[in-house]
Structure 1
Amino acid sequence: MPDALEQWSEQLAAWAIPEHILAGTPESPWVLNRKVFVRRVEKQLAGPRTPTHAAVLEALAGSGTVLDVGAGAGAASLPCASAITHVTAVDIDAELLAEFAARATVPHRLVEGRWPDVGAPRADVVVCANVLYNAPDLASFVRALTGHAHRKVVVEIAEAHPLTTLNALWRHFHGIDRPAGPTADDALAALRQLGIDPEVVRWRREPLRHQPFEEAVDVTRRQLCLPPERAGEIAHELRRTAPSGRGTHGMVTFAWGSARLTRAV
C-alpha cells in the first residue's frame, strides 16, 4: 500500500525550481502578494459564508475561541466573529497580521511565526485555510493542529495545487513540465493514514475580481523567474490564455471532531 504521507512530501518537493533557472532570476519567485489576501478577506466579510465558515460556526455553537493558523488577513476566521469570544492569528507575515488586526472586531492575539514551530494557545476550534500545500511534513503539521483543538479542526484546501495554473506558462517560457500534484485527494489520503477520517465538503469558490492586470503580470513574471523586460510577453500570454472570468475554483473543506483527534494523536 502506498505511503500517502511520503507521497505528499515527495510531490511537494518536486515543485522546487531547477537551479539553472533559479540562478538567473533577479527576484525571489516565491511571491507573497498581500493585496490578494486583503481582497479575499474583504470579499468574505461582505459574504456569503463559505462551507469553511459554516463548519467553524457549527463547532462554535454560538460561542467559543478560535485559533487561525496561516491566518493571512483573516478570511477564514473573521467572518465568524459573531460567535468568537477570542481569536489567535498565526502567520509568518507581520504585515498580514497587521491587516488581520485592523479588521478584527473581537479580542485577538497575533503570533508571528511558522506553524508548528511557533507557540500558540489551544482553542475550541482550529481553522487552517489554504496552507497545507506549504506543509511538506504533513504529519507534524496536522498533529499540531489536532493537539490545539478542544472541539474541532477545520481545514480548507484548493482541489488542485494553486501553482498548476502556471504550468502551461512554464512550458511556454522555459520548456519544462511542472508537477500536477499533490491534490486535495492526496491530502485526504494522508489524513486517513494518520487515523483521521474527516467530514469532506467539496465546493466552488468565485474568483477574486478587480485584480489590476498589471499586478497579475508582475506577480506572474516573478513566479516564472523572468526579468522585467519580459513583462510584455507575459501580458500577451495571459490575455491569450485567460479564461472568460466566469469560472470558479474547486475547494475542499475537511473537518473532524475532538474525539477523533484524541485517537489520532
Structure 2
Amino acid sequence: DVAADVPVADVVVCHHVAFNVAAIVPFLQALNDHAQCRVVLELPMTHPLSNMSPLWKKFWDLDRPTTPTAQQLADITSALGFDAHLDVWPDETWGQRVSLPMEDRVRFARIRLCLSADRDAEVAAALLKDLDATPREVCTLWWDV
C-alpha cells in the first residue's frame, strides 16, 4: 500500500512483517522493484504465534494451521524468478528479549486464546508446562537484483 511513497534504495530490508502480508506476490515484487542491489527479509520459519498451538489444542481441541511457512515464501520468491537464498538460524534470544511478569504472560495468552479471566490459573499452569522454551528457527531470505 505504501510502495509509491517509498524511495528506491541499495538494499531493501523487511523485518518480521511477511506473515501479515495478505497479497504476498505484489509485496515481493514491490520489494524487488525498490532495491538496486539486494532484498533481505527476516522472518521466523513458522508463524510467530505457532508456539501457542499446543494451547489451542489443550483449551479448544483445535489444530492450528501449520502454513504458511518461510520455506513456502522462498518457493514463491523463486517461482517469481528471483534467485532466492534461505539461510536458517536459531534465534537464541527467543522468549528472553522482554521479561514479562507471569501475570502479564497469562493475560496475553488468555486473550489470544479467547478465554475468560476465570481461566487464568489453567492458562498459567499450561504456560509453565506446554510452551516450548527452545530457540525458534528464523531465517534470512535474500536475493540480489
TM-score by length of 1: 0.50
For 2:144, give the aligned amino acid.
Answer: G
Deviations 1:26-75 (A, max 9, x none): xxxxxxxxxxxxxxxxxxxxxxxxxxxxxxxxxxxxxxxxxxxxxxxxxx
Q: Distance in 1 between matches of 2:123 and 2:4?
A: 38
1:256 and 2:134 matched:
no
- Whether contact under 8 Å (2:88, 2:140) holds in the other structure is yes
C-alpha distance 219-235 of structure 1, shift in aligned 2 (>3 A): same
Query: 2:31 aligns to what SS in structure 1?
Result: helix
- Write out the 4+ residue segments of structure 1 that deviate beyond 4 Å after TM superposition: 115-118
Query: 2:49 aligns to what SS in structure 1?
Result: helix
Deviations 1:120-149 (A, max 9, x none): 222221110111111121111111111111
User: Which residue of structure 1 lines up, in the alignment, with residue 120 of structure 2?
Assistant: 231
Q: Which has the higher contact order (CA 8 A, sep 6+)?
A: 2
1:154 and 2:43 matched:
no
Q: In the comparison of the two structures, how many residue pairs are matched?
A: 142
- Whether contact under 8 Å (1:116, 1:144) holds in the other structure is no
CA RMSD between the two structures: 1.7
Q: Distance in 2 between matches of 1:182 and 1:257?
A: 24
Identity across matched positions, percent = 33
User: Which residue of structure 1 lines up, in the alignment, with residue 91 of structure 2?
Assistant: 205
Q: Distance in 2 between matches of 1:235 and 1:208?
A: 16
Q: Distance in 2 between matches of 1:200 and 1:177?
A: 27
Q: Runs of 5+ in structure 2 lacking a partner?
A: none
1:133 and 2:19 matched:
yes
User: Which residue of structure 2 lines up, in the alignment, with residue 214 of structure 1?
Assistant: 103
1:171 and 2:60 matched:
no
Shift of 1:118: 6.7
